[in-house]
A and B are shown apart, each in its own frame.
Chain A
Amino acid sequence: MTAPSIKAAPTRRNWFRRITAALGAENIGLLLALVGVLVLFGSLSPRFLSMATFDSVAFQLPELGLLTLAMLMPVISGGINLSVTFTANLCGLTLAWVLQANGGPDASVFAFIVGSILALGVGTTAGLVMGPVIAYTGAHPILVSLSMMIFLRGLGEFLTRGADISGFPEFIQPLGHGSLWGFPVPLLILLVAVALWHVLMTRTRLGFANYMVGSNIEAARYSGIPTRRTIVLIYALSGTMCAVAGIIMMARFNSVRVGHGESYVLITVLACFLGGVNPFGGFGRVVSVFLALIILQLLSSGLNLLGASQHLATALWGFLLIGVMVLRWCAARLHFLRITRD
């Protein structure tokens, strides 16, 4: 084996390399897919490229988006959090009860703030139960979060007896439906969360440690990374983000029901993989995952506009993931062939 020498790349490819470096090779494919979806639906329906589509995407994206952010960091750490949706449900319930206990539709802003803080606490606690089990016993994250999911679902159903809880004060409406400077409030919240997560993952010690832990936890420990603390914090933060999603979902639907958004669990995993997150952990970027989310939501909204069922979109999401994984395999194969030829 010899060390790769530093050679000036042919100028013909320099611009290409610079663009891929700036955007990340992963994102170029996603941007192409995004343009593809826009062109496809734009040509199929003149109404597609309109404010209506934008609104539909902007209001629907946040729930899925926030839950995907909650899923993202555990996946990068080499784990998974299958309990995201039910954690969100339970956090929504917490807030709903605080509001109901304080007069339902007449509840004060103060009650809302207290309720929200409690909801964030509940979400974080769910993560704080899973994190140590995963970090200290070495139990598989799929199992730990799966049993947590079953537990939370049971707990929620037990507490609500499967009923909807509704009747909230007027002032929470804008959280789900309002607009600020022409931008839907839920979308703004999602953008803030995305920015926060981006900074957390690229600029903080925790984010850095998370990537290292995801690649090789033992080597990270030997290098002085507090691996267990990292895992505990990652799952706690995942729970906190679930709480944000739960609050937004409550405002969007004006009700809380356990089981709401249940089908999102696997979609959030799908969005992560589509966004180039390594299924074995260690690699993945918030921006790419955000792009993947937009593509998924555009597909769904576009089909909706064409009058096709939501379920066709679900199937397409699955096909899209398979297609992207197969293309990645082809690219890796080509790369390998080129290296062995050199």
Chain B
Amino acid sequence: MIMAMQPAEPVPVLSLDTVSVTFGGVRALHNVSFEVLPGEVQCLAGENGSGKSTLIKVITGVYQPLAGARIAYAGRPVETVSPAAARAAGIEVIWQDLALFPEMTVAENIGIRAVLGGLPRRVNHRAMRGAAQTLLARLGADFDVDAPLRSFAIAQRQLVAIARALAGDAKVIFMDEPTSSLTQSETDRLLEIVRTLSAQGIAIVFVSHRLAEVLDISSRVTVLRDGKLVGVYSTEGMTQSHLTELMTGKTFDQSVRARDLPGAPAVLEVAGLSREDDYQDVSLTIRRGETVGLTGLLGAGRTELALSIFGMLRPDRGTIKLDGAVLDLRSNRDAIRAGIGYLSEDRLSLGLIQPQSIADNTVMPVLDRILTRGLISSRKKQLLVARWIEELAIKLGQPTDAISTLSGGNQQRVAIAKWLAVGLKLIILDSPTVGVDVGARAGIFEIVEKLAAEGLAILLISDEVPEVYFNADSVLHMAGGRIIAQYDPRTISLHDLEAAVYA
């Protein structure tokens, strides 16, 4: 074997070249190259469907690339990649859902590798506990390894997942959307751990489409789009807007939509609203036809505030007024009756009932409207559904098809349609573009604009600052459960707003 005589260039722990993957004639990856250097922190960025997860599955041996692909672990070429080979080479993936076992103890979760495969043998519980404690200590974490995992919060579970990866003697750890459900302080803690691991020579690859929080920690970012490599960039001076342009291939020549609404009456007036541990002393007003953006990092209390206005979480103090009347919301049915709708950020499991039909999902909150002598009238139901399909230009096969047959963008339109059918005064849109393709996002915001023009009051919640910046009349910044600032998009630049929020 000839040794490469290039001491200045570290040997990549993982390198891929000319990797292509097809599914039934569709190219999921096209000549992609990718490499990870020892101990580096890298971002793998791309929209949904850009090929990020396919690439990870090639690296971990779940999918086989087409002939011509060159893959090497630590400089050694690999003929065929298998899950076992990838694991043996120290390649670990922490999936977004973590794939942990909530009923088992922390020690059992971390030590699960040791009990896999081979013939049945005795489990050494003491060694397992000891190893778990050592690994957690390496991450600077100290918690009861005998407690069941279900008693821990997400952030702690993530540490357990990292410890489990380390137990496999990881050289590279891929982290799939690691910050998507962490609060700011938890994210900071995670980044601290990433620095520690990186210093120990373990490479970390963040896989995400929302990279603001991790951009400053990583040295390089690899961008994929439509299964192709866009490029590998240094994160020096990279902004989120520029990254978004790279990921989507579109430049945002959007203009700020903010308007003045002289004389518009207030629809929603929230005063001094507080709920222990969630948000404190929140006051805000939304007027007829006004779109108020609410941004801030995860864990800022945005969703809790929204759920309180929607009647699903009871505030401890403060008042919610709709059209001047104080609301006493015992459940979200009271809120719906009053004319408040809520579009959940979790469309898959809370926003829509995926296996049920488009028609049934649409009429769910408005059953009262389609009754004839107390019974559901299928004619009224059809008319109502047909009207909203047309109004929101939803592309579908049959109204009786399951929601799950629709694309993300069209699902979101159904989710909006179901609330519009109620005849709302106020709609709360919680992260309406999560899991929606960029092209379809513009369509969603066209609907939002139209609704505002029709006089609906809109509370637009998003952690993507450009979304609220371009689409809201005013932007509220929430942090630590309080609204700390209000901005007018016409008097602040996007860059300054981003800097303020991600500071």
Interface residues of B in 325-340 (CB under 8 A from A): 331-333, 336
Check A282–B333 contact: CB distance below 8 A: no
Check B349–A223 contact: CB distance below 8 A: no
Q: Which residues of A contact B406 (CB under 8 A)?
A: 3-4
A219-B349 contact, Cβ under 8 Å, with A4-B396, A225-B364, A226-B333: yes
Decide if B485 is an interface residue (CB 8 Å cutoff).
no
Decide if B151 is an interface residue (CB 8 Å cutoff).
no
Decide if A140 is an interface residue (CB 8 Å cutoff).
no
Binary contact readout A184-224 vs B (1 if CB under 8 angstroms, 0 otherwise): 00000000000000010011110011011001101111111
Check B408–A203 contact: CB distance below 8 A: no
Choice from A3, A202, A216 contacting B395 with Cβ under 8 Å: A3
| Assembled-state Cα–Cα distance A341/B25 (Å) | 9
Choice from A2, A216, A340 contacting B24 with Cβ under 8 Å: A340
Decide if A263 is an interface residue (CB 8 Å cutoff).
no
Choice from B342, B354, B360, B410 contacting A3 with Cβ under 8 Å: B410
Check B365–A224 contact: CB distance below 8 A: yes
Choice from B360, B364, B376 contacting A203 with Cβ under 8 Å: B376
- Measured CB to CB, the closest approach of chain B to A224, in angstroms, equals 4
Size band of the interface chain B makes with A: 35 or more
Decide if B367 is an interface residue (CB 8 Å cutoff).
yes
Check A341–B24 contact: CB distance below 8 A: yes
- Measured CB to CB, the closest approach of chain B to A192, in angstroms, equals 17
| Assembled-state Cα–Cα distance A224/B376 (Å) | 17
| Assembled-state Cα–Cα distance A26/B33 (Å) | 49
Decide if B355 is an interface residue (CB 8 Å cutoff).
yes
Check A203–B351 contact: CB distance below 8 A: no
Q: Which residues of B contact A202 (CB under 8 A)?
A: 376
Check B351–A222 contact: CB distance below 8 A: yes
Choice from B336, B360, B361, B410 contacting A224 with Cβ under 8 Å: B336
A218-B350 contact, Cβ under 8 Å, with A212-B360, A282-B355: yes
Check A223–B418 contact: CB distance below 8 A: yes
Q: Which residues of A contact B333 (CB under 8 A)?
A: 224, 226
Check A215–B355 contact: CB distance below 8 A: yes
Choice from A209, A222, A225 contacting B344 with Cβ under 8 Å: A222
Decide if B3 is an interface residue (CB 8 Å cutoff).
no
| Assembled-state Cα–Cα distance A220/B312 (Å) | 13
Interface residues of A in 1-26 (CB under 8 A from B): 1-6
Choice from A3, A199, A203, A212 contacting B356 with Cβ under 8 Å: A212
| Assembled-state Cα–Cα distance A283/B353 (Å) | 12
Check A220–B24 contact: CB distance below 8 A: no
Check A219–B353 contact: CB distance below 8 A: yes
Q: Which residues of B contact A220 (CB under 8 A)?
A: 353, 364
Which residue of chain A has its CB nearest to the CB of B341?
A224
Check A204–B376 contact: CB distance below 8 A: yes
| Assembled-state Cα–Cα distance A283/B344 (Å) | 24
Considering residues A1, A216, A219, A342, which has the most beta carbons from chain B within 10 angstroms of its beta carbon? A219
| Assembled-state Cα–Cα distance A224/B406 (Å) | 23
A208-B367 contact, Cβ under 8 Å, with A3-B410, A203-B375, A222-B344: yes
Which residue of chain B has its CB nearest to the CB of A202?
B376
Decide if B49 is an interface residue (CB 8 Å cutoff).
yes
A208-B351 contact, Cβ under 8 Å, with A223-B418, A340-B24: no
Which residue of chain B has its CB nearest to the CB of A199?
B375
| Assembled-state Cα–Cα distance A20/B410 (Å) | 27
| Assembled-state Cα–Cα distance A204/B49 (Å) | 41
Which residue of chain A has its CB nearest to the CB of B364?
A223
Q: Which residues of A contact B409 (CB under 8 A)?
A: 3
Choice from A215, A219, A282, A342 contacting B350 with Cβ under 8 Å: A219
Q: Which residues of A contact B371 (CB under 8 A)?
A: 205
Choice from A204, A211, A224 contacting B332 with Cβ under 8 Å: A224
Decide if B486 is an interface residue (CB 8 Å cutoff).
no
Decide if B172 is an interface residue (CB 8 Å cutoff).
no
| Assembled-state Cα–Cα distance A199/B333 (Å) | 25
Check A222–B396 contact: CB distance below 8 A: no
Q: Which residues of B contact A5 (CB under 8 A)?
A: 395
- Measured CB to CB, the closest approach of chain B to A338, in angstroms, equals 12
Check B397–A6 contact: CB distance below 8 A: yes
Choice from A6, A209, A219 contacting B351 with Cβ under 8 Å: A219
- Measured CB to CB, the closest approach of chain B to A19, in angstroms, equals 16
Which residue of chain A has its CB nearest to the CB of B354?
A216
Choice from A211, A218, A223, A342 contacting B365 with Cβ under 8 Å: A223
Check B367–A205 contact: CB distance below 8 A: yes
Binary contact readout B356-376 vs A (1 if CB under 8 angstroms, 0 otherwise): 100011001101100100111
Choice from A3, A204, A342 contacting B396 with Cβ under 8 Å: A3
| Assembled-state Cα–Cα distance A192/B81 (Å) | 64
Which residue of chain A has its CB nearest to the CB of B343?
A222
- Measured CB to CB, the closest approach of chain A to B413, in angstroms, equals 10
Q: Which residues of B contact A211 (CB under 8 A)?
A: 356, 360
Which residue of chain B has its CB nearest to the CB of A220?
B353
Choice from B342, B360, B376 contacting A205 with Cβ under 8 Å: B376
Choice from B350, B354, B360 contacting A222 with Cβ under 8 Å: B350
Q: Which residues of A contact B361 (CB under 8 A)?
A: 223
Q: Which residues of A contact B354 (CB under 8 A)?
A: 215-216
A216-B353 contact, Cβ under 8 Å, with A204-B375, A221-B332: yes
- Measured CB to CB, the closest approach of chain A to B486, in angstroms, equals 29
Decide if B405 is an interface residue (CB 8 Å cutoff).
yes
Decide if B54 is an interface residue (CB 8 Å cutoff).
no
Q: Which residues of A contact B344 (CB under 8 A)?
A: 222
Q: Which residues of B contact A221 (CB under 8 A)?
A: 312, 332
Interface residues of B in 470-489 (CB under 8 A from A): none
Q: Which residues of A contact B336 (CB under 8 A)?
A: 224
| Assembled-state Cα–Cα distance A46/B351 (Å) | 58
- Measured CB to CB, the closest approach of chain B to A341, in angstroms, equals 7
Decide if B258 is an interface residue (CB 8 Å cutoff).
no
Choice from A1, A205, A218 contacting B408 with Cβ under 8 Å: A1
Choice from A3, A224, A341, A342 contacting B364 with Cβ under 8 Å: A224
| Assembled-state Cα–Cα distance A145/B244 (Å) | 54
Interface residues of B in 405-435 (CB under 8 A from A): 405-410, 418
| Assembled-state Cα–Cα distance A2/B376 (Å) | 32
A1-B407 contact, Cβ under 8 Å, with A218-B350, A226-B333: yes
Q: Which residues of B contact A204 (CB under 8 A)?
A: 374-376
Q: Which residues of A contact B352 (CB under 8 A)?
A: 219
Q: Which residues of B contact A208 (CB under 8 A)?
A: 360, 367, 376
Q: Which residues of A contact B376 (CB under 8 A)?
A: 202-205, 208
Binary contact readout A108-150 vs B (1 if CB under 8 angstroms, 0 otherwise): 0000000000000000000000000000000000000000000
Considering residues B336, B397, B418, which has the most beta carbons from chain A within 10 angstroms of its beta carbon? B397
- Measured CB to CB, the closest approach of chain A to B361, in angstroms, equals 8
Q: Which residues of B contact A215 (CB under 8 A)?
A: 353-356
| Assembled-state Cα–Cα distance A1/B348 (Å) | 15
| Assembled-state Cα–Cα distance A202/B395 (Å) | 26
Choice from B351, B375, B396, B407 contacting A2 with Cβ under 8 Å: B407
Check B332–A222 contact: CB distance below 8 A: yes
| Assembled-state Cα–Cα distance A341/B24 (Å) | 7
Interface residues of A in 324-342 (CB under 8 A from B): 340-342
Q: Which residues of B contact A209 (CB under 8 A)?
A: 367
A-B residue pairs in contact (CB < 8 Å), sample of 20: A3-B396, A3-B407, A3-B409, A3-B410, A6-B395, A6-B396, A199-B375, A208-B360, A215-B354, A218-B350, A219-B351, A222-B344, A223-B361, A224-B333, A225-B364, A226-B333, A282-B353, A340-B24, A341-B24, A342-B24
Kindly list 5 other residue pairs between chains A and B, CB separation below 8 angstroms, not including A3-B407, A6-B396. Answer: A2-B407, A4-B406, A212-B356, A219-B351, A220-B364
10 closest A-B pairs by beta carbon, nearest first, are: A3-B395, A203-B375, A223-B364, A224-B336, A224-B365, A4-B397, A3-B407, A216-B353, A1-B407, A215-B353
